[in-house]
Structure formats: structure tokens, C-alpha cells
Structure 1
Amino acid sequence: MLGVFQGVSPYLSVSECDDICPALRDTVDLFISGSHEAYIEQVEKYNQNPNVLETADTLKNCVDEKLTAEDKQNALSALNKIYSSSLC
């Protein structure tokens, strides 16, 4: 996920946001419930910096070790409410 944010301007137009949102959503979904390998591959698409990849690896390990299946489902449900908002 970190790789997706690096270099993204806070002043994106609506059309630029539409292009970024699917990738960001995919990355967040993989971070929460995807396989470790799939998440790291997704981050690598956007950033090959070894420090970013190491941090992504550490964070994904933490999520996988600490969050229960119910925790992950609750997080995805909350995100789906955000994604379906007219403000998103």
C-alpha cells in the first residue's frame, strides 16, 4: 500500500482519482485479506524501493498474524461502505 501513495499528488482531478482508486482498492483488499505474496507483488507494481518493500512485508506479516478472520471481514465491510459512498 505504501508504494501506491508515494508520489501521488494531493491535488488530483476527478479523472485521475478514478484511475487510482481501483489500484488502491485492490491493494488495500490484498493487504487485509490477500495472500502475502499477492500483496507484495501488488506493491512492487508501484514501488521497487527496498525500504518500502521491507515495510510492506513487515506490515503484511503483522496483519496476517494479529487480525482474526472476523477482524478482516469487519475491515472489508467498513471499506465497502466507504467505497459505496457518493463521496468516494
Structure 2
Amino acid sequence: MTRAGALLLLCAALLLITGRKFDDLCPALRDTVDLYISGSHEAYVEQVEKYNQNSDVLETANTVKSCTDEKLTPQDKFLHLLLHNKIYSSSLC
């Protein structure tokens, strides 16, 4: 697993650990993570841009997505999506 993937999973887990309801956040997080793992490069950057127009953030999103597309195997992506589905099915989401 790449560092970026591990960081993303950690952030998602931390959101769930807080014990708060994230009615508006979980769908946006789910969509963004799904695009990050299996979506097109352009669709992911557009999704990030919906929530943050800072050029540094968009450049980082562009770089991280490129790295993910190059480094993660189809099996890695499948396993990440399985884990994300388990997180999304949590009663906290």
C-alpha cells in the first residue's frame, strides 16, 4: 500500500472514530475516495475542486492521483474499495 493510500484510509477511519454523525460528509468522502481509487484522473481532480479551489491543493490532488494510478494494482484497488465499503456501511456514516 502506498503512503497516500494509507493516509487516506487513516483519515477515513479517524472520521468514524469521532463518534459524530457526518450526514453531509460521508457521501462526499465516499464519492471522492471512490474516484481516487477507481475513477478517472480528471473526474477526481474535478471532485476535489468542488470543495477546495486552492491551487496547491489541486496540484497535490493531481500529483497524488497520478501516483495512485501508476502504483496501485487492480487487486490493490479492489481491496481498498472493499475496505471503504465496510467503512461506509458503518452506522456512523
Instruction: Give the TM-score band, short-chain normalised.
Output: 0.7 to 0.9
2: CA distance between counterparts of 1:23 and 1:87? Answer: 14
Q: By how many angstroms is 1:84 displaced?
A: 1.1
Where relative contact order (Cα < 8 A, 6+ residues apart) is larger, the structure is: 2
Of residues 19, 27, 40, the one that matches 1:22 is 27
For the residue of structure 2 that corresponds to 1:18, the secondary structure is coil
Unaligned 5+ residue runs, structure 2?
1-10, 12-17
Q: By how many angstroms is 1:28 displaced?
A: 0.5
Unaligned 5+ residue runs, structure 1?
6-10
Residue identity matched to 1:61: S
When the two structures are aligned, how many residues end up with a matched partner?
Answer: 78
The reply to whether residue 77 of structure 1 matches residue 57 of structure 2 is no
Q: Deviations over 1:16-52 (max 9, x none)?
A: x101110111001000100000000000101110000
- Which protein has the larger Cα radius of gyration, Structure 1 or Structure 2? 1
2: CA distance between counterparts of 1:44 and 1:55? Answer: 11
**Alignment RMSD (CA, Å):** 2.2
The aligned counterpart of 1:68 is 73
